[in-house]
Amino acid sequence: MLIHIGGIDGSGKSTVLRAVVGVLGQNKEIFDAVAWSKEFGKVPSFLEDCPKARIISVAEPTHAGMGAVIRQEIVRNGANYSPHVVAQSFALDRLILYKRLILPALEAGATVISDRSVETSIVYQPLQTSEITVEDILKLEGNRFVLKYAPNILLVVSCPPAVAMERLSVRQGKNDNAIFEKLDFLEKAHEAYHAPWFADLWKNYGTKVFYINGDQAPEAVVTETLSYF
C-alpha cells in the first residue's frame, strides 16, 4: 500500500505520519528513509539498504542528492530560480526516490508512507506563476512516472493558514521551503487543497482522499487519523 500525506506547511503532517507508521508498523520492520539519508548522505536503495523493511517512511523533498539541493538552494528565500526550475527539480527528486526506493518496496509487498509527494507540486507550483498550470505539472517526466503508481490513500491535513504560520514561526531549525512559507501563499494553497477539482483529480487515479483536521490537539489528530485504518 502507498499512502501520501499532504497539506500546507505547518498543518500537522508529521503528527499524522507518526500515527500512521505507528499503527501500521506494529510487529513489522520499519525503515525511516529521512533519518537514513541524513546519516549516510544519499537516497536509499530498497534492494541494497532495507530489503527486509515492511513499513517505509519517506519525505519530499528528500534529504540527499537532488532533495538536498532543493532544500538548501532552490527554495531558499532570496534564491532566484524560476518556477519552472523549481517544478522540474521536485519532479526529478521524486523520480529518483521512486526508482530507488518506493517502487521496489511496493513490488516487494512493503507499505510506504510519504510526507508530501506529487500532490504538493500539483498545488504549490501553479501558485508560483500563471505560466505553469496543473496540466504542465502532470506532464513532467518525474510526475508522469509516479502517477502511474498513484497512492491508495491520500491524507490531506487541513489547518487554517494563520495557525500554520504561527507553528512555523516557532519551529527550531526549520529553514527549508522558505519561499512557500508566507501567509498569502499558504492561504491560496489551502484553498486549492479543498477545491473540488483537487479531489476529482485523485478520483481519476483511484485514490481515496481523506481530510484530517490539523487544527486540534495532537492527540485528537492521532485519533482522527487512526479512524481511517
CA distance 17 to 99: 22
Q: Where exactly are the structural domains of the chain?
A: 2-226
- 186 residue type, one letter: L
3-class secondary structure, 165? helix
Task: State the average pLDDT for the chain.
Answer: 95
pLDDT tens by residue, 79-129: 889 999 999 999 999 999 999 999 999 999 999 999 999 999 999 999 999
What's the grid cell of residue 175? 529553514
Residues 6+ apart with CB under 8 A from 58: 33, 34, 97, 101, 102, 112, 113, 114, 115
Q: What is the pTM of this model?
A: 0.94
What is residue 225's predicted lDDT score, i.e. its pLDDT?
A: 96
Mean pLDDT of 2-13: 96
Portion of the chain with pLDDT greater than 90, in percent: 92
CA distance 65 to 46: 16
Q: Is the pLDDT of residue 208 over 60?
A: yes
CATH class entry, domain 2-226: alpha beta
What is residue 80's predicted lDDT score, i.e. its pLDDT?
A: 87
pLDDT tens by residue, 22-78: 999 999 999 999 999 999 999 999 999 999 999 999 999 999 999 999 999 999 888
Residue 115's nearest CA partner among 166, 52, 67 is 67
Torsion angle (degrees, nearest 10) of CA 207, 97, 80, 183:
40
